[in-house]
Structure 1
């Protein structure tokens, strides 16, 4: 039986010794959140200077201003924002350098990907990892998403392991120090299949920044006011880069963000098979808000649990309304709707339906590989979180569920939170 985990200090956080140490280190090593400083650091780290089209600088500036202009943000959030911005800018430089040396990469075709989307916490991660167990698919493990292009001149070590894998493993171990519940919420080991928004982050445009810093209203408003199609084109370009290194195969992709970007998604990948997951949105909000309320103890000087709960209630509503409004962008024969309770009861049957819709033979070998994945990754392997929406957020499941009547009337998901 999975370990039951209950966080009972959301409103009066008690930091672990390791968390206190990280916070102290950030206080003692302040960073400057300016675009020029980030880009100079990325150039120094890579020895490169060509970032490609410079429109990304405006979006990077919004990210940095979101944090720099808020005195309630902790030194840790400032450091995290700076370090990740440098990391993304460095990957962007390496991608641009590779494309300039190998322009033939642009000619690679990305054909008929299978794209999994749906709210966070609805089984998207599990489903994409199951599909990726079939080695006929090309998928993106976290270590590769973290650093799509190898450092120039750097190859596998004496043990044959890619240094990018080792760096990703070290980062995973650090993340678990800052958040000891991360393995229960969202495993991020190097071999775990990652979300393709990791590649859009290199263009400094995705909803990820909202979850990274718990709330980002300034960035949210900028993001929602701009057409995301160019950033989906950037995603496609980086998929071509990854295919050039290791391919060609049919891609399997996954990201909750696609639910509110079905237009840009289908413009970029018109032959995609889109798999949409459905689950009780009350459970989604409860889980995600708890996770981000926990991480806010390091993200803010004075965390506001209620504000985080309201922000993510609004975000879930935003995703669902967009997904319904834009559903027509996905042709009927290219869409599969997956209900969480039925999926958990019959994962192989769910996968078989995806294969039928995508026109892929569900071979015995594929079935065996996927079953092996299921057997070796039992649900709640990292522990099972215990939630209390009433005690933690001062509302009831019934009250929150009313907010999603428009969605529940269309998609008959089972109520999970009583």
Structure 2
């Protein structure tokens, strides 16, 4: 029996529960006006460590972030605190990484061997694909909780749950209790396989906080700089994670952000296999704006769905133009483009193409595990969300398709009405 369709009818004027009202305000004890120096000081206090590595670029990026957050007039106090608290967490992560590498310099000798890297627009099947391929236990994959805290603050217990996983599960459980339809769009299970955006977070080169804010100053600064060093920092974090796992094994990674950083990605991971998923950007916007608009009841007042759609139409255009400009950095001998409609029509065929490209044997054991995942996770498992890009978000779809003509010309995705 299929789950019922889901119509979220209060995106423009959300019903605010007591829990959402509290989240909008945020904890009273948190300094919502903390600056870059305060963020770094809080991370040092949380870890009793002091070396961030190259601190100059970090301080610049934090200053830009803080200023951009202050310019985001629609952001609630709680929404701002969430971003600032994330900044403190990722800076604490960075301190622990730098400390661990200083104590174990052999970490930097670990080879990140032929990773399989998935890139693609948000809402284009990348989460499904990475969680599916992660059923092959020969591959290292990154759980949400591990991406949030790569280095434990203290050795985890040998015979019990890792406190990092418990913290993640508690945080996301509370989030999904406030937003029960989120599981149908993008569930945040602590044990699920997650994007490697969090690894870029530690070099403050991650676009994840753009999903919770409207910070054009940050975006302009991000695009103005060469992000290659940030991808080498991601490689360093992967070396740390590999060290915890014994030093060997191929990584399976994914992030939409890689689409706009293909040259930097190639520089850091020259022997990787790249899989790029492509989907009609209009369908992407329908899904993405609904998902983000649903969450905006926590972080924005007013929610302003038309403003959200305008923001993300521009942001996705920027991402896609960067993707096309840098796509030739990867040759056909190690990269493949997957069209969403072809992926949905023949998932097993896509699997075999990826394995062939990666030079990875599809053993009987791996195939059984992978096919089992498909059986357990049919599309719309938690219900099909009904989208209204034209009505709720005020988008002229014909004009939007004209705006993305450059992308349709390059990648023949099926247009989804």
Structure 2 contact 72–215 (Cα < 8 Å) conserved: no
Match of 2:76 in 1: 74
Structure 2 contact 97–151 (Cα < 8 Å) conserved: yes
Question: Unaligned regions of 5+ residues in structure 2, if any?
Answer: none
Match of 2:223 in 1: 224
Q: Does 1:155 align with 2:156?
A: yes
Question: Quick one: distance in 1 between partners of 2:270 and 2:22?
Answer: 49
Q: Give how far 1:148 is off.
A: 0.2
Q: Give how far 1:25 is off.
A: 4.3
Runs of 4 or more, structure 1, over 6 Å off, are none
Q: Give how far 1:135 is off.
A: 0.7
Alignment of 1:31-70 (within 5 A): 31-54=32-55, 55-70=57-72
Match of 2:212 in 1: 212
Structure 2 contact 24–79 (Cα < 8 Å) conserved: no
Show CA shifts across 1:271-291 (max 9, x none). 111101011110101111122
Report the number of matched residues. Answer: 414
Match of 1:146 in 2: 148
Q: Secondary structure at the match of 1:323?
A: helix
Change (3 A) 1:28 1:16: farther
Q: Which moved further from structure 2: 140-149 or 399-408?
A: 399-408
Question: Quick one: distance in 1 between partners of 2:230 and 2:29?
Answer: 36
Q: Give how far 1:305 is off.
A: 1.9
TM-score after normalising by structure 1: 0.95
Structure 1 contact 280–413 (Cα < 8 Å) conserved: yes
Match of 1:176 in 2: 176
Alignment of 1:335-414 (within 5 A): 335-414=335-414
Match of 2:100 in 1: 98
Q: Does 1:239 align with 2:238?
A: yes
Question: Quick one: distance in 2 between partners of 1:157 and 1:187?
Answer: 29
Match of 1:199 in 2: 199
Question: Quick one: distance in 2 between partners of 1:31 and 1:243?
Answer: 36
Match of 1:310 in 2: 310
Q: Secondary structure at the match of 1:414?
A: coil
Q: Give how far 1:141 is off.
A: 0.7
Aligned residues: CA RMSD = 1.6
Question: Quick one: distance in 2 between partners of 1:114 and 1:108?
Answer: 17
Q: Give how far 1:396 is off.
A: 4.1
Match of 1:134 in 2: 136
Question: Quick one: distance in 2 between partners of 1:9 and 1:76?
Answer: 20
Question: Quick one: distance in 1 between partners of 2:168 and 2:66?
Answer: 24
Question: Unaligned regions of 5+ residues in structure 1, if any?
Answer: none
Change (3 A) 1:233 1:29: closer
Q: Secondary structure at the match of 1:277?
A: strand
Structure 1 contact 155–162 (Cα < 8 Å) conserved: yes
Q: Give how far 1:251 is off.
A: 0.7
Question: Quick one: distance in 2 between partners of 1:254 and 1:85?
Answer: 22
Question: Quick one: distance in 1 between partners of 2:158 and 2:164?
Answer: 10
Question: Quick one: distance in 2 between partners of 1:360 and 1:295?
Answer: 39
Show CA shifts across 1:281-318 (max 9, x none). 10101111122222223222333222210110111111
Match of 1:267 in 2: 267
